[in-house]
Amino acid sequence: MASIDSMLTFLCKRRMEITGST
C-alpha cells in the first residue's frame, strides 16, 4: 500500500488533470 505522501501526490495530479481539461 502506498504511503500517504504518494496518495496525496496522486490525487493532486488527478485533480490537476481534471481542472486542466476543462
Question: What is the pLDDT at residue 5?
Answer: 94
pTM of the model: 0.45
H-type alpha helices, 1-22: 4-21
d(CA 19, CA 3): 24
Q: Which pLDDT tens digit goes with each residue over 1-22? A: 579 999 999 999 999 988 877 6
* Cell numbers given for 5: 505522501
